[in-house]
Structure 1
């Protein structure tokens, strides 16, 4: 079942028209959520990121878009798909409705739709034997700015980058900005470990304002033995790192084990994922 503006409809029923602005112009935003046993992980962070993004895109936020209302609609969708007592991946999508060209019609109304699907790993884990290979994606570059940090439906670089990765037998690729700094992976934020120093690209470089990125930074900030810095990362630094890992809400922490000829360990990432799961258990 799909939730369209609060109504549960069959997944095979059409809910979007050809005039939908999200379809025509990518005039839409989304949040990818992990829901376990009726709990939305990091819901407050997702909610406020969505509201801030809607303001940046100058969407008229409906009065009923409160945190409580949207949470209820998400859980209603999860329950309708018989996933309330298990683990689910949820996509919450908002668009500006129908009509207009680039300029929306004055009567365009914000829509939302929610889709839930099974996700069989309730807590985060790392397979220490897994091989995860990445390379740089250099066909196109991300321009730094407010828009590059939004989870909008305009994900052309991520789409063609994913095709490039598949064609070349990579598990993922790292994206560069127009200054040729590494800013993120195709599907998550990037962290670099070198001794007691941890780096992640700053938002100003054009990376996504990731919810899991925020959680990891909060955990790292409590360790007085680490020096954590949000700073630009050049491609040259990647092969000098002890570890590289990717973060996102669905998978948590994904260690990179190979970049070009460099092989990386995952000891730091494995310790970090334990702290992440502990944080989730302590915050019911």
Structure 2
């Protein structure tokens, strides 16, 4: 069952052809990981959603408190019999129905969809063939809108099709300045020696929740340095390690880019530190 504006309904058609998220991509979403009823990084997700709604000029309902939305998420998980499981949650908000580009009314819909996830804590996926390449058909525009999790994901869809057609596990996206900004489904970190780089938000990468957690882990490690700076595609073949982050997988090591093979020593160490942080929180 799904949660549509607080009402639990069967997972069938529940929006009309006039829904603005469907017609124009006038919608935002958060992808959450919930472990045994605990939403990981919930405060970060909530404030990112509120900030994104303000940027999108959405009128935030008075009842959209952190406590209210948390209760709605947990209610949806429980009714689906997943209270003792790890769960992937999509929380979607849109501007309702009506209007052309200009909305007719200041309405906000939300819906919550849940599905069972694999692991309680983060692990290194065992995939010896995790190869990536650049997706160069279209480019990300640097700027604030590119950092939001909106329903406008055409480049990610096309890039995913390209990756499947060419038997890549993932692709890296470039911005209009031809800098590497992110993967199709997460942020990118590049390791050279004990120095780690990740693209800055200004380059147009998603303001990722796991990105923030990994930066904090690296800063607090005392063993590695972190720099938010533009990454040239030429740097990829000189790097020692490369990994992708999102809240569902945690850390996904990249094992190969073209003829370059990467190791995973520091990546695995960062993952251990992340899991330690989660256990202590």
Same fold (TM > 0.5): yes
State the partner residue of 2:206. Answer: 208
Contact map agreement 2:59 2:106 (CA 8 A) in 1: no
State whether structure 2 residue 150 is matched by structure 1 residue 152.
yes
State the partner residue of 2:14. Answer: 15
Q: Could you tell me how far apart the structure 2 residues matched to 1:223 and 1:208 are? A: 24
Q: Which moved more, 1:232-241 or 1:117-126?
A: 117-126
State the partner residue of 1:103. Answer: 102
The TM-score, its normalising length taken from structure 2, stands at 0.99
* Distance of aligned partners of 1:128 and 1:117 in 2 relative to their CA distance in 1, 3 Å threshold: closer
Return the offset for 1:121: 1.1
The TM-score, its normalising length taken from structure 1, stands at 0.98
Map Cα deviations across residues 94-133 of structure 1 (whole Å, 9 max, x no partner).
Answer: 000000000000x241000000001121110014563210
Contact map agreement 1:191 1:200 (CA 8 A) in 2: yes
Contact map agreement 1:128 1:266 (CA 8 A) in 2: no
Q: Tell me, what secondary structure is at the counterpart of 2:14?
A: coil
State the partner residue of 2:251. Answer: 253
Return the offset for 1:249: 0.2
In the TM superposition, what are the counterparts of 1:20-99 in structure 2 within 5 Å? 20-99=19-98
State the partner residue of 1:266. Answer: 264
Q: Could you tell me how far apart the structure 1 residues matched to 2:216 and 2:223 are? A: 14
Q: Tell me, what secondary structure is at the counterpart of 2:30?
A: strand
Map Cα deviations across residues 231-271 of structure 1 (whole Å, 9 max, x no partner).
Answer: 00000000000000000000000000000000001111111
> What 5-or-longer segments of structure 1 have no aligned partner?
none
RMSD: 0.8
Map Cα deviations across residues 56-91 of structure 1 (whole Å, 9 max, x no partner).
Answer: 000000000000000000000011111111111000
Return the offset for 1:15: 1.3
Number of residues of Structure 1 aligned to a counterpart in Structure 2? 281
Map Cα deviations across residues 16-67 of structure 1 (whole Å, 9 max, x no partner).
Answer: 0111000000000000000010000100000000000000000000000000
> What 5-or-longer segments of structure 2 have no aligned partner?
none
Contact map agreement 1:99 1:108 (CA 8 A) in 2: no
Q: Tell me, what secondary structure is at the counterpart of 1:236?
A: helix
Contact map agreement 1:98 1:108 (CA 8 A) in 2: no
